[in-house]
A and B are shown apart, each in its own frame.
Chain A
Amino acid sequence: MPSHSFTVNGRPVTVDAPDDLPLLWALRDLLGVRGPKYGCGIDVCKACTSHLDGEAVRPCVVPVAAAAGREVTTIEGLADGDRLHPVQEAWLEQDVAQCGYCQPGQIMAAVALLKRTKNPTDAELDAIANVCRCGTYFRIREAIRSAAEKMG
C-alpha cells in the first residue's frame, strides 16, 4: 500500500492508501478529519471544499497521491486557535447556518474568493456554485460582503 505524506491544518501526516483514494476519504476515514462533508462525490455540490496550498479544491475528486508534500487546510484549520477567521465571524454575525452541513464548504469557498479579490462583484458571488439545500444564499452573500468590508 503506497504511503502519502502531507500536512493537514499545519500538522504533518502520513497515510497508507491507494493512490487514487479520494482525499476526502483519507481525511474523513483515515485521519478522522470530519469537517469536510460528503454531498455528491463528483465535485457538484462542493460541500467538501477545502484548500490545497491555499487554493480551493474539492477533496472528493482529488486523489490522495496529489496531496503528497502539500498543505491541506480544512474548515478545522481556518481559525487561529480560538480566534475565528473574519469570514467565520461574518457567518456568526449574519447567523447564516441552518442545518450547517454545507457551511464548512461555503466558508472555505468564500475565504478562497476573498483571497483572490478583496471586493467580489455580484458575478463573482453568483459564481460560487456550492449548494445550500436550506437555501441560506442571501445570508451567505451578506456575510461575504460584510467580511470583505472588514478585511478591507
Chain B
Amino acid sequence: MTEQPNLEARTEHPARPAQGTWQGRADPASPPHRTRRRFLTYLVAAPTLAVGTGLALDGVPPAAAEAVVPTLPAAADLVDLGDVLILAGAPTAHLLVLTVGEDGTVTFRLPREEVGQGITTAVAMLVAEELDVPLAKVRVQLDDARPELLFNQFTGSSNSIRSLYDPVRRTAAAARARLVHAAAGRWGLEPGTLRTEDGSVVAPDGRTAPYGSLTAAAASRHLAALTATPKPESAHRLVGTPTSRIDARAMVTGRQRYTLDLDVPGAKPCMVRRPPTLGGTVRSVNNERAVRAMPGVLDTVVVPTGVAVVAETFGQALDAKNALDVTWGPGTVDGLSDDGIRARLRAATSLPPITLPLAEHLDAEFDFAFVSHAPMETNSAVADVRPDRAEIWSALKTPIVAQQTLAKELGLPVDKVTVHVVQGGGSFGRRLFFDAALEAAQVSRASKRPVRLMWSRIDDTRHGRMRPATHHKIRATYGLGQVLGFDHRVAAVETDFRHGLGEILTATAAKLPGGLGNAGFAQTLFHTTVKSPYHFGVTTQRLTEVPLRMPTASWRSVYSANTRGAEEMLIDELAARMGKDPVEFRRTFLRNRAQRAVLDKVAAEGAWGRPMPAGHAQGVGFHEEYKSRTACLVEIDATDPRRPRVTKAVIAADVGRAVNPRGLEAQLLGGLTDAISTTLTAGLHIDKGLPLEGSYSQFHYARQKDTPPDVRIFVMPATGEPGGAGELGVPAAVGAIGNAYARATGTRPRRFPVNFDVDFTPFPR
C-alpha cells in the first residue's frame, strides 16, 4: 500500500465528476470533493492471472465408456480474449480509486462504461460486500478517460466483471483495513479484535465508529504498509444474491441522464446531413445561404462525413438538414448490393476435398445478413472545443482511444482533451467506436461554439456501424456412430476493430499460444473467442475476411452468434442423420459435466420432448465462451411460417460465479431477444451502397408481440471465478430458435433472418 496525499492525487488525476454530478464543473473553483476530507486507496499488488488454469480438463479425452473421438483444445480453450484483456489491464489494476466521504458514502470510480449491462450495480455490490456498507451508501461514477490506465479502460468482450472482480475487492479490502486500523488507534485496541458492520467499525464492547468519522485518520501515512485480503467467498452475503439495479429509480422517474440530457452551457443542437451512399463525400453545398436563413439555424459546417447544421432546437436542425442541397462525391461501396456481397463471401472460402472417402459427411451452407446495433440512443455527443482545449461528453467504451484520436484530430496535447464517459442508452458493440464524438468535435471547432450532436434514427440505421454479413460452409464427417471431423469455414465482411483492441493484442502477443500474435487482429479475435464445445474428432474453424469499406463493428457476441449459431443448427441435422435425439446427441459429444449440467437443466425444466401441436416445435442450443456455458430451449409457434413467434424460452447458465444473478438473468433475456430478432426478422439489405432500412419500422427488431410471454432462466450454483456473461446468451438462442423453426416447419432454413422481405418503402437517400 502506498500513500497518495490528497492534494497531490487531485493534481495528477483531478476527479472530474462523471455523469450525474457533472454540474459541479460550473464552479471549478470549489468542486465539492475538495471541501470534504477523504482518502484515496491505491492498490499496489496487481491481481494474478492464471492463464489456462483448469482449462486443460477440456482437452482430456473422455472416459473410454463415452467412446467419442476426442478433439484437442482450441486456442480459445487455452487463452481466451478475456484472459488477454485481463493480462493487458493487470499492470494498471492498482490505479482503481475508491473514496470514503465524511458522510460515510463510498464512491468508486469505474473505468468502464455502463450501457445497460448492469456493471455499476455489480461493482457496487462488490464494494459494499467487501467494506460492509449498505449498498445504498455506494456510488459508482463512470471515470473520465484516464490515459494512465493504458489498456484498463476498455469495455467489451464480456470482460468487465472478469477483469474487475479481483481488483475491486482488493481495493475495497484495503480501504476496510485502513478504517479498522484507524478505529483501533482511536480506541487503543488491537485491530484484530474489531469487526466491521453496516458502515461502521465495531469494538468488542459494542462501541461503534462510523466510517465517515474515521476517514482522516484512515488516510494517515502510518497505515501505508497495511496489506489486506478480500473476504473468502464463503463469507459473501450480498454478492451472489439477486439484487436490483442501483440506477433503477433514476430510470423509472426520468432522472437518468444520457449524453443529450446534459446541460452543457451554450451547447446547441446539431445534426449532420449524410451522403446517399456509405462513405460518400461532400463536393459542394448548393443552398447554404438559404438554409442558414431558416428559422433557428445558427450555422452550417462541412465535416468529412457530411454537412452539419447547428440550430436552436433539434427540430429546426432536422428541418434544415433535410433542406440542404448537396452535391456528393462517390462512396466506398457504390453499386454494391446484397447479391454481390454474398457472391464475394461465398467465393472467399471453400471446404477442402473430402479426405475420408469411406466415412459419410454432411455439408451445409448458411448466410447471415448485416445487422444494425440500433441502440435506442442514437450516436450522440456533446463537444466544447476551444483553441487551447477541448471537452467531450459521450457514451464511450474506449475513452482513452477516443481521447488520443480527438487530440490528434484537433492538434491538441492529450492532456488538454477532457473526455467524460456518459452512461449510454444501449451499445451492443456500437459504442466501442466514437464516431459522434469525433464529428461533434469537428463541428464545435469549425463553428466555434459548443454543440450537442445527435444522429437521426435513419442515419443511425443506415450510416451507423453494423454487424458484417457472413457466409458459412460446414462439413461434419461421421461413421460408426462417431463424429470424426468438423470443419467450419467462415467468410465475413471485415469487422472494424480499430478501437484500441489491436494495440491490446499487439501488447500481449507474446503471451498468446501458437504464434497467434502474428495473426491479424481479426484472426486473433476469432481464435480467442470461437471454439467448439464438442468432441467431434479433428475440428477446424477458420475465418476469411472480405475487405469492403463499410462501417462495421463487433456486435454482441461478435463472431460467435453466427458461427456457433450455424453450428448448433447443423448439429441438429447431424443428430437426425445419425438417428439421435438433439439433446441426447449433444449430451454424448459435450466434453464435460458442467456443460452437460446446463443442457440437462433446460431439458428437464423445459420438458424436452413434450408433445406439441402441428406447426409448433421445441428447439435446443448450447454455447460456451468466456469461461461460461449456457443452454437454451425454446418453443415456437410457426403455424404461419411467415409470422413465427417464440412462445416460451428456458435458459440455464453457468458463469462460474454470478455476482448479481438478477443482472445475469437480464443479460440472458436480452441475448434471447437479440437472437429472436436476428434469426427471424431483423437485418439490413444493402442496395447500391446503402442499407435500405432506416428505422425500426423497417429494421424489424423484436417488439412485445414477437417475444415469449413465458421465460424461465436458471442460474447454476457458483463454482469458481466469474466468467463472461454479457454476450453469452445470443449464440445458443440463435441455434435453439433456428432448430425449433426447422422442426416446426419441416424446412432447413439457411439464410437469416428467415423472414426478410423488403416490406416497406425506403426513405429517400
Decide whether A and B assemble into one complex.
yes
CB contact list, A68-115 vs B, under 8 A: 74-76, 78-79, 84, 88, 91-92, 95-104, 107
Given A21-B315, A45-B457, A34 contacting B261 (CB threshold 8 A): yes
Is B253 in contact with A37, judged by CB distance below 8 angstroms?
Answer: no
Interface residue from A22, A88, A95, A133 paired with B426 (Cβ < 8 Å): A133
Interface positions of A (Cβ within 8 A of B): 17-18, 21-22, 24-26, 28-30, 32, 34-42, 44-45, 47, 74-76, 78-79, 84, 88, 91-92, 95-104, 107, 122, 125-141
Given A92-B252, A99-B425, A99-B426, A28 contacting B314 (CB threshold 8 A): yes
Report 13 cross-chain contacts, Cβ distance below 8 Å, ordered by A residue.
Answer: A34-B257, A95-B244, A95-B245, A96-B248, A98-B426, A98-B666, A99-B116, A126-B705, A132-B673, A135-B674, A137-B702, A137-B707, A138-B669
CB contact list, B421-447 vs A, under 8 A: 424-428
Interface residue from A18, A126, A138 paired with B711 (Cβ < 8 Å): A138
Measured CB to CB, the nearest residue on chain A to B117 is A98
B272 to chain A, nearest CB (A): 15
Is A129 in contact with B315, judged by CB distance below 8 angstroms?
Answer: no
B689 to chain A, nearest CB (A): 23
Q: Is B254 an interface residue (CB 8 A)?
A: yes
A12 to B426, alpha carbons, bound, how many Å? 34
Measured CB to CB, the nearest residue on chain A to B713 is A138
Is B254 in contact with A104, judged by CB distance below 8 angstroms?
Answer: yes
Given A21-B316, A91-B248, A99 contacting B695 (CB threshold 8 A): no
Measured CB to CB, the nearest residue on chain A to B376 is A101
A136 to B454, alpha carbons, bound, how many Å? 25
B216 to chain A, nearest CB (A): 34
Q: Is B378 an interface residue (CB 8 A)?
A: yes
Contacts of A22 in B (CB 8 A): 315
Contacts of B250 in A (CB 8 A): 100
Contacts of A38 in B (CB 8 A): 260, 314, 378, 454
Q: Is B701 an interface residue (CB 8 A)?
A: yes
A39 to B662, alpha carbons, bound, how many Å? 27
Interface residue from A29, A42, A135 paired with B312 (Cβ < 8 Å): A29
A83 to B666, alpha carbons, bound, how many Å? 26
A63 to chain B, nearest CB (A): 10
Closest 6 CB pairs of A and B: A135-B673, A35-B254, A99-B116, A101-B425, A100-B251, A75-B254
A47 to B377, alpha carbons, bound, how many Å? 10
A83 to chain B, nearest CB (A): 11
Is B254 in contact with A133, judged by CB distance below 8 angstroms?
Answer: no
Contacts of B697 in A (CB 8 A): 40, 42, 44
Is B670 in contact with A134, judged by CB distance below 8 angstroms?
Answer: yes
Interface residue from B115, B312, B703 paired with A137 (Cβ < 8 Å): B703
CB contact list, B265-319 vs A, under 8 A: 269, 295, 312-316, 318
Given A47-B376, A84-B252, A95 contacting B313 (CB threshold 8 A): no
A57 to B150, alpha carbons, bound, how many Å? 47
Is B256 in contact with A100, judged by CB distance below 8 angstroms?
Answer: yes
Is A99 in contact with B244, judged by CB distance below 8 angstroms?
Answer: no
Is B709 in contact with A91, judged by CB distance below 8 angstroms?
Answer: no
Q: Is B190 an interface residue (CB 8 A)?
A: no
Is A103 in contact with B704, judged by CB distance below 8 angstroms?
Answer: no
Contacts of B672 in A (CB 8 A): 135
Is B662 in contact with A95, judged by CB distance below 8 angstroms?
Answer: yes
B116 to chain A, nearest CB (A): 3
Q: Is B247 an interface residue (CB 8 A)?
A: yes
A78 to B252, alpha carbons, bound, how many Å? 10
Contacts of B695 in A (CB 8 A): 40, 42, 44-45
Contacts of B703 in A (CB 8 A): 128-131, 137
Contacts of B118 in A (CB 8 A): 98
A24 to B426, alpha carbons, bound, how many Å? 21
Is A18 in contact with B256, judged by CB distance below 8 angstroms?
Answer: no
Is A125 in contact with B704, judged by CB distance below 8 angstroms?
Answer: yes
A101 to B115, alpha carbons, bound, how many Å? 10
A35 to B427, alpha carbons, bound, how many Å? 20
Q: Is B630 an interface residue (CB 8 A)?
A: no
Interface of A is mostly: loop
A37 to chain B, nearest CB (A): 7
Q: Mark B558-581, 1 if CB is under 8 A from A, else 0.
A: 000000000000000000000000
A125 to B697, alpha carbons, bound, how many Å? 19
Is A129 in contact with B662, judged by CB distance below 8 angstroms?
Answer: no
Given A92-B248, A141-B704, A135 contacting B377 (CB threshold 8 A): no
Is B244 in contact with A133, judged by CB distance below 8 angstroms?
Answer: no
Is A76 in contact with B253, judged by CB distance below 8 angstroms?
Answer: yes
Is B670 in contact with A135, judged by CB distance below 8 angstroms?
Answer: yes
Is B707 in contact with A138, judged by CB distance below 8 angstroms?
Answer: yes
A50 to chain B, nearest CB (A): 10
Measured CB to CB, the nearest residue on chain B to A35 is B254
Given A41-B457, A74-B254, A99-B116, A136 contacting B696 (CB threshold 8 A): no
Interface residue from B252, B315, B378, B669 paired with A29 (Cβ < 8 Å): B315
Is A40 in contact with B457, judged by CB distance below 8 angstroms?
Answer: yes
A37 to B256, alpha carbons, bound, how many Å? 11
Is A98 in contact with B670, judged by CB distance below 8 angstroms?
Answer: yes
Interface residue from B249, B426, B711 paired with A92 (Cβ < 8 Å): B249
B380 to chain A, nearest CB (A): 9
A140 to B704, alpha carbons, bound, how many Å? 9
Contacts of B457 in A (CB 8 A): 39-42, 44-45
Is B314 in contact with A29, judged by CB distance below 8 angstroms?
Answer: yes
A75 to chain B, nearest CB (A): 4
A117 to chain B, nearest CB (A): 16
Q: Is B263 an interface residue (CB 8 A)?
A: yes
Interface residue from A28, A103, A131, A140 paired with B251 (Cβ < 8 Å): A103
Most buried by A among B427, B696, B707: B696
Measured CB to CB, the nearest residue on chain B to A30 is B313
Most buried by B among A18, A39, A74, A137: A137
Interface residue from B377, B669, B696 paired with A139 (Cβ < 8 Å): B669
Is B425 in contact with A138, judged by CB distance below 8 angstroms?
Answer: no
Q: Is B374 an interface residue (CB 8 A)?
A: yes
A80 to chain B, nearest CB (A): 12
Measured CB to CB, the nearest residue on chain B to A107 is B252
Is A134 in contact with B251, judged by CB distance below 8 angstroms?
Answer: no
Contacts of A91 in B (CB 8 A): 248, 251-252
Contacts of A39 in B (CB 8 A): 376-378, 457, 696
A1 to chain B, nearest CB (A): 8
Is A29 in contact with B313, judged by CB distance below 8 angstroms?
Answer: yes
A127 to B673, alpha carbons, bound, how many Å? 17
Contacts of A101 in B (CB 8 A): 258, 375-377, 425-426
A21 to B295, alpha carbons, bound, how many Å? 11
Interface residue from B376, B671, B676 paired with A45 (Cβ < 8 Å): B376
Measured CB to CB, the nearest residue on chain A to B428 is A133
A127 to B695, alpha carbons, bound, how many Å? 19
Contacts of B248 in A (CB 8 A): 91-92, 95-97
B209 to chain A, nearest CB (A): 31
A36 to B257, alpha carbons, bound, how many Å? 11
A90 to chain B, nearest CB (A): 9
